[in-house]
C-alpha cells in the first residue's frame, strides 16, 4: 500500500511540476521583455490575476507570477517536504549496481597530498594548489542537486541526494562516494560548504549547494544572488580571505523541458542563454573575490541521445516523457533534432564566454571544463549497454554516475586549456594528480 500511495503521489507531483514548467515557460516567451508596468519582485505578485501573463522581475529574470506567489511557493515546498518524509532518506544506501565499487581501506588515495596546500594563502587564482580551496559552492539544476541518485523505484526520483553530488557532495569519503569535495578534503580536511546528506536547497545539509530541479539558465542570476547571500550570512566564511571554488553547470532543462513551451524560442533561446550566463558571471565577478568558477556544460541531452541508440528500460520509457517532454513528449518530440542543434550551440557559447578577458584577474577566473561535452553511456566488453551511471529514469545520474563525473571534473581541473578530456571515462580509469612540476589548478593564464 505504501508503494502504491508513493507512486500515486509521484504522478501527482510530476504532473504539477510539468504544469508549473508550462506556465513558467509561457511567461518568458519574448527576448525583449514585457512592459515596465508588469515588473514585479520576488516578494510581490498576485496569483489570481493574469496567472499566465508575462511579467519581468525587477532583477530582470523573466518568469511567471507563480514564482512570485508566496502561497504557491509554500505549497510547492510543503509537497516536497511531505514527499521527502514519506519516503525517508535514500542517500545512505550502500548496495546496488548503480553505486561505485567501494575502495578497500588498504588502497591508498591515488595522489600524494603532501605539499599541495600553500603555507600562506596565494594572492593569485592562477597559483592555487588543490588544498588552497577553503570553500566549495554550486549553482545548477537537478543534476547538481543529485536528484534521484540513489533511487531504486521511480517514486524516489524526487529525493535530492545532495550529499552524493559530483561537484558539491561531501557525504562519506572518496572510498565510498567519489565527489569533488571528497577529493579536495584529502588535500584540505578543513574544506567546507559541501552538502552532507539528503536535503532540498532550503535545508541545512545542503550548505552552499543552491541547485534546484527544473532550473534553467534564466534562473542563474537569481540563484547566484541567493548563494552569495547565504555564504555571506555564514560566520565560517571569511569573504575576502578564503579561496572559493564554485561549479556552475546549467542548460539541460532549457532544451529538455522549456524550449518547446516558448513562443518562437528556437529563434532566440541561445541569445537569451548567453545573456543570462553573462549576467550571472558579471555579478559573481563583481561581488565574489578569490573565486575560481568551473563552467561545465550539461550532459543531459548527450546522454539522452546516447540512450536512444539502445533499448531503454520500461521505467525510462514511462518517466522520460514527463521529465523531458520537449524531447520525448508526443506533442514536441518531432523537433528534438533541432533542440539538439541548439544545445550544441549553447555548449560553444559557454566555452566562448569563458574566454572573455573581463572574467580573468588575479582574484577571479572562469574555466570551461568540458568533460561532459561528448558524454555518452558506457558499453560493456560484450557490446551491451551499461546504464549503471544513470538513475532509474535514464535522465538523472546514479551515484556511480556522480562518482564518474567527479573523476572527470577533477581530471579537467588538472588538464591545460585546449587539452582537456571531453568524454566520460570509467571510474578511476584515469585519475590525474598534481606534481611538483605542475602543482596548480589549471586556468587560462597558467596553462
Residues 399, 326, single domain; the answer is: yes
Domain boundary among 58, 87, 116: 87
Q: Please tell me what DSSP assigns to residue 190.
A: T
Q: Report the run of H or E that residue 76 belongs to, with start and end.
A: helix 70-87
Residue 29 lies in a domain: no
Q: Is residue 33 scored above 50 in pLDDT?
A: no
- Number of structural domains (the chain) is 2
Residue 1 lies in a domain: no
Residues 83, 210, single domain; the answer is: no
Count of C-beta atoms within a 10 Å radius of residue 353 = 18
Cβ(40)–Cβ(58) below 8 Å: yes
Residue 329 lies in a domain: yes
Domain boundary among 37, 66, 87: 87
Count of C-beta atoms within a 10 Å radius of residue 271 = 10
Residues 207, 79, single domain; the answer is: no
CATH of the domain at 111: 3.40.50.1110
pLDDT band for 203, please (50, 70, 90 cuts). Answer: confident
How many whole angstroms separate alpha carbon 323 and alpha carbon 27? 20
Residues 67, 186, single domain; the answer is: no
Render pLDDT for 97-138 as a digit per residue (tens, 0 to 9). Answer: 899 999 999 999 999 999 999 999 999 999 999 999 999 999
pLDDT band for 337, please (50, 70, 90 cuts). Answer: very high
Q: Is residue 21 scored above 50 in pLDDT?
A: no
Give mean pLDDT, residues 343-355. 98
Listed residue (24, 32, 25) closest to 60, CA to CA = 32
Residue 429 lies in a domain: no
- Backbone dihedral region for residue 231 (phi beyond 0: left; psi -120 to 50: alpha; all else: beta): alpha
Q: Is residue 63 scored above 70 in pLDDT?
A: no
Residues 220, 197, single domain; the answer is: yes
Residues 74, 163, single domain; the answer is: no
The DSSP string of 230-284 is HHHT-TT--TTTS-EEEEEEE-HHHHHTTGGGSTTGGGTHHHHHHHHHHHHHHHH
Q: Please tell me what DSSP assigns to residue 102.
A: P
Count of C-beta atoms within a 10 Å radius of residue 82 = 12
Residues 190, 82, single domain; the answer is: no
Count of C-beta atoms within a 10 Å radius of residue 346 = 23
Residues 217, 116, single domain; the answer is: yes
Q: What sign does the dihedral 231-235-240-243 (CA atoms) show?
A: negative
How many whole angstroms separate alpha carbon 282 and alpha carbon 67? 24
Render pLDDT for 150-191 as a digit per residue (tens, 0 to 9). Answer: 998 888 888 999 999 999 999 999 999 999 999 999 999 999
Strands (E), 290-413: 291-297, 364-368, 378-379, 385-386
* pLDDT computed for residue 97 by the predictor: 82
Domain hosting residue 56, numbered range: 47-87
Q: Please tell me what DSSP assigns to residue 200.
A: -
Q: What is the pTM of this model?
A: 0.85
Render pLDDT for 374-391 as a digit per residue (tens, 0 to 9). Answer: 999 999 888 889 999 999
Residues 317, 252, single domain; the answer is: yes
Give mean pLDDT, residues 80-93. 81
Amino acid at each position: 500500500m505504501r508503494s502504491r500511495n508513493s507512486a500515486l503521489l509521484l504522478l501527482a507531483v510530476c504532473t504539477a511540476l510539468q504544469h508549473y514548467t508550462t506556465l513558467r515557460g509561457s511567461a518568458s516567451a519574448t527576448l525583449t521583455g514585457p512592459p515596465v508596468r508588469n515588473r514585479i519582485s520576488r516578494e510581490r505578485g498576485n496569483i489570481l490575476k493574469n496567472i499566465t501573463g508575462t511579467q519581468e522581475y525587477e532583477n530582470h529574470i523573466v518568469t511567471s507570477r507563480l514564482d512570485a506567489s508566496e502561497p504557491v511557493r509554500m505549497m510547492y515546498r510543503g509537497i516536497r517536504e511531505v514527499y521527502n518524509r514519506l519516503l525517508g532518506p535514500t542517500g545512505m544506501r550502500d548496495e546496488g549496481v548503480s553505486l561505485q565499487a567501494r575502495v578497500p581501506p588498504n588502497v591508498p588515495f591515488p595522489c600524494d597530498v603532501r605539499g599541495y596546500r600553500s603555507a600562506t594563502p596565494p594572492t593569485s587564482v592562477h597559483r592555487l594548489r588543490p588544498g588552497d580551496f577553503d570553500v566549495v559552492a554550486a549553482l545548477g539544476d537537478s543534476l547538481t542537486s543529485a536528484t534521484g541518485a540513489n533511487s531504486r523505484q521511480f517514486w524516489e526520483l524526487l529525493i535530492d541526494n545532495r550529499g552524493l553530488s559530483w561537484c558539491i557532495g561531501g557525504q562519506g569519503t572518496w572510498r565510498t562516494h567519489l565527489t569533488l569535495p571528497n577529493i579536495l578534503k584529502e588535500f584540505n580536511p578543513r574544506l567546507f560548504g559541501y552538502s552532507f546528506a539528503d536535503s532540498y536547497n532550503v535545508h541545512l545539509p545542503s550548505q552552499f549547494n543552491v541547485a534546484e530541479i527544473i532550473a534553467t539558465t534564466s534562473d542563474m542570476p537569481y540563484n547566484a544572488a541567493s548563494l552569495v547571500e547565504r555564504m555571506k550570512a555564514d560566520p565560517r566564511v571569511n569573504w575576502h580571505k578564503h579561496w572559493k571554488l564554485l561549479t556552475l553547470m546549467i542548460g539541460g532543462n532549457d532544451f529538455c523541458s522549456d524550449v518547446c513551451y516558448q513562443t518562437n524560442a528556437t529563434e532566440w533561446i541561445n541569445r537569451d542563454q548567453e545573456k543570462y550566463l553573462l549576467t550571472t558571471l558579471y555579478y559573481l565577478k563583481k561581488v565574489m573575490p578569490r573565486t575560481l568558477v568551473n563552467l561545465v556544460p550539461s550532459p543531459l541531452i548527450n546522454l539522452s541521445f546516447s540512450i536512444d541508440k539502445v533499448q531503454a528500460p520500461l521505467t525510462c520509457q514511462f518517466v522520460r516523457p514527463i521529465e523531458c517532454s520537449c524531447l520525448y513528449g508526443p506533442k514536441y518530440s518531432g523537433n528534438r533534432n533541432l533542440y539538439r542543434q541548439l544545445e550544441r550551440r549553447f555548449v560553444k557559447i559557454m566555452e566562448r564566454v569563458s574566454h572573455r578577458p573581463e572574467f580573468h584577474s588575479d582574484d577571479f577566473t572562469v574555466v570551461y571544463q568540458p568533460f561532459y561535452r561528448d558524454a555518452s553511456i558506457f558499453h560493456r566488453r560484450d557490446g551491451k549497454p551499461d546504464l549503471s551511471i544513470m538513475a532509474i529514469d535514464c535522465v538523472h545520474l546514479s551515484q556511480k554516475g556522480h562518482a564518474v563525473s567527479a573523476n572527470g571534473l577533477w581530471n579537467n581541473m588538472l588538464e591545460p586549456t585546449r587539452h582537456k578530456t571531453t568524454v566520460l571515462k570509467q571510474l578511476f580509469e584515469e585519475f590525474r594528480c598534481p606534481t611538483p612540476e605542475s602543482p596548480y589548478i589549471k586556468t587560462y593564464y597558467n596553462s
